[in-house]
Amino acid sequence: MAGITTCALKSNIDKWENLLFSFNHQESGVKSNVRDVSMLLRFIDEKKYSKITGETLLEFIAWLKDEKGNSAGAINRKISSIKSYIRHLRFLGVKGADTLPIKELPRCREPYSGPIQALEPEEVQKILRAIDTSSVIGYRDYVFYSLIYNLGLRVSEAIGISISDIDFEKEIITIHGKGGKRRVIPIVNQLITNLEKWIILRKKMLNAHMQDALFISKKGKRLAIRTAQDNFKKYVEKAGELSLSKVTPHSLRHAFATHALESESELLVLKTILGHARLETTEIYLHPSINVMRKAMNDHLANDILGAILEKKLDQVKINNRRCFINRKAA
Q: 189 or 327, which is more confident? A: 189
Reduce the DSSP state of residue 23 to 3 states and report it. Answer: coil
The reported pLDDT for the residue numbered 201 is 95
Backbone angles phi, psi at 135, to 5 degrees: -105, 160
Q: 242 or 280, which is more confident? A: 242
Backbone angles phi, psi at 172, to 5 degrees: -135, 160
Residues 108, 61: contact at Cβ < 8 Å? yes
Per the annotation, the verdict on 300 as an active-site residue is no
Reduce the DSSP state of residue 91 to 3 states and report it. Answer: helix
Which of 46-55, 129-138, 214-223 shows the lowest mean pLDDT across its residues?
46-55
Per the annotation, the verdict on 250 as an active-site residue is yes
Determine which one of 78, 126, 154, 176 is catalytic: 154
Per the annotation, the verdict on 129 as an active-site residue is no
Per the annotation, the verdict on 287 as an active-site residue is no
Backbone angles phi, psi at 83, to 5 degrees: -60, -45
The reported pLDDT for the residue numbered 139 is 96
CA dihedral 230, 233, 234, 236 (to 10 degrees): 160
Indicate the pLDDT class of residue 127, thresholds 50, 70 and 90.
very high
Query: What is the 3-class SS of 177-191, one letter each residue?
Result: CHHHCEEEEECCHHH
Cα 309 to Cα 315: distance, rounded to the nearest angstrom: 10
Strand partners, 184: 174
Q: CB atoms < 10 A from the CB of 7, how many?
A: 10
Which of 195-204, 211-220, 262-271 shows the lowest mean pLDDT across its residues?
262-271
pLDDT greater than 60 at residue 228? yes
Residues 255, 118: contact at Cβ < 8 Å? yes
Q: Which conformational region is residue 171 in: left (phi greater than 0), alpha (psi within -120 to 50 degrees), or beta?
A: left
Determine which one of 65, 183, 250, 287 is catalytic: 250
Per the annotation, the verdict on 178 as an active-site residue is yes
Q: If you count them, how many residues does the chain have?
A: 331
Q: 255 or 24, which is more confident? A: 255
> In terms of DSSP bridges, do strands 182-186 and 172-176 run parallel, antiparallel, or are they unpaired?
antiparallel
Determine which one of 15, 35, 178, 234 is catalytic: 178
DSSP3 helix / strand / coil % (the chain, rounded to 5): 65, 5, 30
Cα 86 to Cα 101: distance, rounded to the nearest angstrom: 10
Q: At 321, which amino acid appears?
A: N
Q: At 254, which amino acid appears?
A: H
Determine which one of 140, 253, 254, 259 is catalytic: 253
Q: Single out the residue of 34, 41, 32, 39 nearest to residue 17, CA to CA.
A: 34
Per the annotation, the verdict on 253 as an active-site residue is yes
Mean pLDDT value across residues 9-13: 82
- Average pLDDT along the chain: 81
